[in-house]
Amino acid sequence: MKSSKSKILIIYTGGTIGMVEDHVSKTLKPFDFNQINKELPELRKIKCHIDAVSFKNPIDSSNVSPVIWEKIGDYINSKYNDYDGFVVLHGTDTMSYTASALSFMFQHLNKPIIFTGSQLPIGMVRTDGKENLITAIEIAATKKEGEPVVQEVAIYFEYQLYRANRTTKISSEHFEAFKSYNFPPLAIAGIDINYNHSVLYRPSIKKMNYIKGFDTNVLVIVFFPGLDLESIKEMIQNSSCKVVVLMTYGSGNIPMSDKITKLIKKQIKKGKIFLNVSQCKAGRVEQQKYETGIQLHNLGVLGVYDMTLEAVISKTMLYLHKFPNDVSQFTTEFLTEKAGEFSI
């Protein structure tokens, strides 16, 4: 689509941003996004065509599941050729999970899919929702030489545009709700929107490919001082999990012993996949840095570089579904960069 005036679709899935006060009951309720220009007359000043749709039953983001990821993805895919960009309004609690999932579902994406939301309802005087939504639309509509400036899934929040699969929610009370610890912002909004063109993602293949399907048989084990080995054993053996995510210390370390070595070795022989994710928000897993990490590497545990837990979970579920019985193929695809989700 090469027209100078961009056509943007807003999709409201649920969340705080879509709430306004009922003048009679004084309670918050979702507003009609078909009347978005009435609620936000400022949108008329943006030089693009805007359509808006809403889930029939908006969902609290704590209730979001891979089924919802597919519902959002399917709808965008069905409208992909009709619009220049998409803005997805979503609750903040699981926004990073959903946005990360879509970054892997829409492979070779060549249009912007911008997620945003708010900490205060859009109907409140001090809301952060208006600025977040208006700027997200402007970003989704921005072109350079007829092409979208942003061609990836991103999260816009409190003057910062982040690569979606690099984000983590860091606050439930401050307007700056998200952070990208291991990757710089794609853009910063001030008087102007200043894009960091050197880090914007560009697909190597021009034709977008949409894939979906998630296998949720993933177990996350968080290590802490005093964690009992028998508890780990029970968690793994009593679970139908195909992938075990080890939330490790520092650059990828856990307390090693003969018992835990034998446990991991035995489970890997049974076909289970172990992923090493650091509990640190910043930095990366380097399994060959310390002795305990080297032991995990030698056992066949996969380090995930500097990926976020949200990206690891969504990417794992997608490729587990695609390669349910092929550990080798899963490993190859999982450790291949798909949408700028890690740095080597």
Output the six-digit token pair for 73: 């993805």
Average pLDDT rounded to a whole number, residues 24-49: 76
- Percentage of residues in the chain having pLDDT higher than 90: 75
Determine what percent of the chain falls in helix, strand and coil, rounding each to the nearest 5: 35, 20, 45
Per-residue pLDDT at 39 exceeds 80: no
> Could you read off the pLDDT of 115-165 as tens digits, one per residue?
999 888 777 778 888 899 999 999 999 999 999 999 999 999 999 999 999
> Could you read off the pLDDT of 233-271 as tens digits, one per residue?
999 988 899 999 999 999 999 999 999 999 999 999 999
Question: Band of the pLDDT at 20, cuts 50, 70, 90?
Answer: confident
Domains and their CATH numbers in the chain: 6-210 (3.40.50.1170), 218-334 (3.40.50.40)
Distances (CA, A) of 225 to 232, 236, 245, 301: 13, 19, 18, 21
Per-residue pLDDT at 219 exceeds 90: yes
Per-residue pLDDT at 26 exceeds 90: no
Per-residue pLDDT at 2 exceeds 70: no
Q: What is the pTM of this model?
A: 0.94
Query: What is the pLDDT at residue 35?
Result: 65
Give the total residue count for the chain. Answer: 344
> Active-site residue numbers?
16
Q: What's the burial of 228, exposed, middle or buried (CB within 10 Å: 0-12/13-18/19+)?
A: exposed
Interatomic CA distance for residues 284 and 279, integer angstroms: 10
DSSP at 31: -
